[in-house]
Each structure stands twice: as structure tokens, then as C-alpha cells.
Amino acid sequence: MGEVKIEKGYVPGSLGRVAELHGIYYHKHWGFGLFFEAKVASELSEFLKRYNDNRDGFWTARADGRVEGAITIDGIHAESKGAHLRWFIMSDDLRGKGVGNRLIETAMRFCRNLGYRKIYLWTFEGLNTARHLYEKNGFELVEDHSGTQWGTQVNEQRFEFCF
């Protein structure tokens, strides 16, 4: 795999590729199915249709012209609830090579530059590699409960980072 470039903004095929990466990873490791992949695709689609470059961020990690990872900052409620970090995913080919950390640092720098006071994200218990990256970058677990927002019963976790 060639050099990995982090690019901001939509590129053709990125919506489908990000949904695909989520669908494959979460099916393989957690048994998630159509509900989850469709949720990612529809919510990411809605986000990209209302995307505002002055408030939101969408970055892809591309290698050899192919999307191999992504991260999003949804800033629509940044002033009241905080900026929402969403759709963070890496392909198997790039997992463990530092690209995920580069994406998180890029998203956090974006929030800092816009003066956002808080970033939050939802995840679930068991995603230990992602949790390690979040905590390494200063996120703290602030909420933990059983829920089904991913289409199956998991222990949902909310992490926050405050500037």
C-alpha cells in the first residue's frame, strides 16, 4: 500500500466506502447486520448533504486513491452539546499503523481552531483499540449504559474531551 494521505471533504465514493468499511468490520467482529450498515449510510448521507465547511469536518485516509479510513466532526450543535465525533473507521490494511491517530489528531485540531469547547462521541464496550486512541488523546468516559442504538444490545459509552 502506498503513501497514506489525509484529505478533507467529500470525494466521490467516500460515502459508500465509509458505510462499507463499517458494515464489514462490525459484522465480522460484532455480528451487526443490515440495520447498522443502513444506519451509517443514511445518517452519513444526511450529514454530507448539510455539510458546512465552516463548522463540520469530514476526512478520509486514502492510499492509492482508495478510501481506507475516515473520521467526521459534526459541528451543528457544537455550541450547545459539543462537536460530535462520528464514523471513525479504518480498513484492516491500515489498522494499527498510526493512521487512526492521525485522523483523531486532525479532527481535534479542527475543533480547537474553531474554538469548540467540547467534543463527544458514542461507542460501545469492547472496542478496546478505539478506546485506547480516544483516551490517549484525552477523551474521558462520562456515560455507560446498556442500549440498542446500533441495532443490537451493547454497553453504550459516551466519551468527552473538553478544551
Mean pLDDT of 55-70: 96
Confidence band of 71 (pLDDT split at 50, 70, 90): very high
In a domain, 163, yes or no: no
Q: What is the pLDDT of residue 8?
A: 97
Confidence band of 89 (pLDDT split at 50, 70, 90): very high
In a domain, 147, yes or no: no
In a domain, 106, yes or no: yes
Q: What is the pLDDT of residue 149?
A: 81
Q: What is the pLDDT of residue 150?
A: 81
Task: Please give the model's pTM, rounded to 2 decimal places.
Answer: 0.94
In a domain, 159, yes or no: no
Q: Which amino acid is present at 161?
A: F
In a domain, 80, yes or no: yes
Q: How many domains does the chain have?
A: 1
Query: With 70 as the cut, is the pLDDT of residue 1 above it?
Result: no
Is residue 21 packed enough to be buried (19+ CB in 10 Å), middle (13-18) or exposed (0-12)? buried
Q: What is the pLDDT of residue 148?
A: 87
Angle in degrees, CA 34, 40, 126, rounded to 5: 85
Mean pLDDT of 81-98: 95
Name the residue range of residue 41's domain.
Answer: 4-117
> In the chain, pLDDT over 70 holds for what percent of residues?
99
> What are the backbone dihedrals phi and psi of residue 24, each rounded to the nearest 5 degrees, phi first?
-70, -50
pLDDT tens string 6-23: 999 999 999 999 999 999
In a domain, 67, yes or no: yes
In a domain, 122, yes or no: no
Residue 13 to residues 10, 45, 50, 138, Cα–Cα distance (Å): 8, 12, 17, 32
Q: What is the pLDDT of residue 108?
A: 98
Q: What is the pLDDT of residue 2?
A: 74
Q: What is the CATH number of the domain that holds 76?
A: 3.40.630.30
In a domain, 25, yes or no: yes
